[in-house]
Amino acid sequence: MQEQAGSADCRVVYVDLDGTLINTDMLWESLAATLRRAPWRVLALPFWLLRGRAFLKAKLASLGQPDVKVLPVNAELLEYLKGRAAAGCEIVLATAAAQSLAQAFANHMKIFARVLTSSDSQNLKGAAKAKAIQADSAGRPWAYCGDSSADLAVWSHAAEAVVVSASSSVERSAASVTRVVQTFPYRGGGLKAYIKAVRVYQWLKNALVFVPLIAAHIWTSPSAILAALSAFFAFSLCASGIYLVNDLVDLDADRMHPRKRFRPMAAGTVPLSHAMVLAPILVVAGLAIAGLTSLPLLGITALYLVCTSVYSFGLKTFVLADAIMLGGLYTLRILGGAVAVQVVPSFWLLAFSMSMFLSLALIKRCSELGTLASLQRESAEGRDYRVADYTVLQSIGVSSGLGAVLVFALFVNSEHVAEQYSRPYVLWLLCGTILYWISRMWIKTARGEMHDDPLLYAARDKTSLAIAVLSGIILFASL
């Protein structure tokens, strides 16, 4: 941050909202809120845009209002404005955002003398904003806080400029038309934030597509390996696209969560507009890979997208139904791997998968409820879960995990195993490792030591990794 002495004559400071005082954009926030509450309404977007950008903003604001109390605010700029207010300056919000959103934000912040906003017929940006500010200032010298090239039309009439989160070229242009008294650097997350937003680390879950390859003992077939890899990337790209959509839908809830509020879109380090463009690109790329591999894989991948969409846009708000769907989505990955390598998954594999992953999904929910309890909150934002549900969910989850161990034991005792394994009795040792691992995961959850995502916890947990290595050795010894 660079600072110069402000002019004592500038008794009015006008502040832009989008990308300046908040690290997001109200237009895209209201679009995300509309997606969350009435996704079918976005089909009318082109028609609303034909009536002008101002009308579009007003329409979206009427359909979906974000929670202004949790928007990511530029804390450094806010402190600067409070300092100017303490020195006797009037702070005025001058924004192109819809009037209802701007007024709601101003009422929450309580530092603004008044608000200048767009109307249904005029988008308060560029020259239009400069004209409105000149009329409001009544001839007094004023300062303006902005962030983009569109603000140059305003800065050219200002006595002072405060440049926020702008490129170096915008800073130079602002300095060429007025006196820059303060700059606040861009705090975006860069490439790392985008990688985090698409959750590349979650691709680990898609390794489940290799399970049928291993279970069918065809891991030495180059064509089968290539098909399984194609399934892996198809599911991974589609999953990343859906994660973006899911985060867009969950913005308000994530911003209220002690850890999820640091997610790139919730924190404002990845623009919502970029996520809305990137999500369909990733999904189309995933479907293209699936289609080039085989039509059955395309069908399973499309079914996965439908199920995840149903989950994101409604099912996740229903207690238990969301956990069952999560378990089903893991099982769909195994089915995707099976159709890719052209094998028929056994009943035992599917039953084990559904029981095990339902247990892990409930670990996730119980972990979240444990966090809520520590924060003395009674229920989860945007989900039909209450802290009082913890004991019941824990019972169901532990039972489901033990059920998975029972299914595996019955599989080991079946005639089918003797046909595929030369030493099937060695597989009984896997019952012990699985039983120990799932029981330990539940103990960690009860102690409040579990991560929100149990699979990510396991991937970083030395004991879990040791159990995975031991299980691999047991499996190899049984062949």
Two structure tokens written together for 231: 């399934």
- One DSSP character per residue, 162-202 reads EEES--HHHHHHHHHHSEEEEEE-----HHHHHHHHTTGGG
Q: What is the pLDDT of residue 202?
A: 86
DSSP state, residue 309: H
Handedness of CA 374, 378, 384, 389 (dihedral sign): positive
Among 81-90, 184-193, 203-212, 385-394, name the one with the lowest average pLDDT.
184-193
Q: What is the pLDDT of residue 5?
A: 41
The Cα-based distances of 66 to 34, 241, 367 in angstroms read: 9, 22, 27
- One DSSP character per residue, 317-371 reads GSTTHHHHHHHHHHHHHHHHHHHHHT-PPPHHHHHHHHHHHHHHHHHHHHHHHHH
pLDDT band at 184 (very low <50, low <70, confident <90, very high): very high
pLDDT, tens only, 310-328: 887 777 778 888 889 988 9
Whether 25 shows a pLDDT value over 60: the answer reads yes
Rounded CA Rg of the chain: 27
pLDDT, tens only, 439-451: 999 999 999 888 7
**What's the chain's length in residues?**
479
Whether 201 shows a pLDDT value over 60: the answer reads yes
Two structure tokens written together for 236: 């991974």
Sequence-separated (6 or more) residues with CB below 8 Å from residue 456: 201, 202, 204
CA–CA distance, 343 with 332 (Å, rounded to integer): 14
Instruction: Give me the chain's average pLDDT, please.
Output: 89
Whether 7 shows a pLDDT value over 70: the answer reads no
Sequence-separated (6 or more) residues with CB below 8 Å from residue 258: 371, 375
- One DSSP character per residue, 425-458 reads GGGHHHHHHHHHHHHHHHHHHHTT---SSHHHHH
pLDDT > 70: what percent of the chain?
97
pLDDT, tens only, 341-353: 998 888 888 899 9
pTM, to two decimals: 0.82
pLDDT, tens only, 277-318: 999 999 999 999 999 999 999 999 999 999 988 887 777 778
Dihedral, CA of residue 432, residue 435, residue 436 and residue 440, to nearest 10: 180
Q: Order the strands of the 2-3 sheet from edge to edge.
A: 2-3, 179-184, 160-164, 142-146, 12-15, 90-94, 114-116
Q: Tell me what the mean pLDDT of segment 227-253 comes to.
A: 92
Q: Tell me what the mean pLDDT of segment 4-26 comes to.
A: 80
pLDDT band at 2 (very low <50, low <70, confident <90, very high): very low
Whether 356 shows a pLDDT value over 90: the answer reads yes
pLDDT, tens only, 404-429: 999 999 988 887 777 777 888 888 99
Domain annotation for the chain: domains and CATH numbers: 2-187 (3.40.50.1000), 191-478 (1.10.357.140)
Whether 151 shows a pLDDT value over 90: the answer reads yes
Nearest by Cα to 143 from 91, 186, 79: 91
CA–CA distance, 81 with 215 (Å, rounded to integer): 63
Q: What is the pLDDT of residue 386?
A: 85
Sequence-separated (6 or more) residues with CB below 8 Å from residue 272: 24, 25, 28, 29, 31, 32, 248, 265
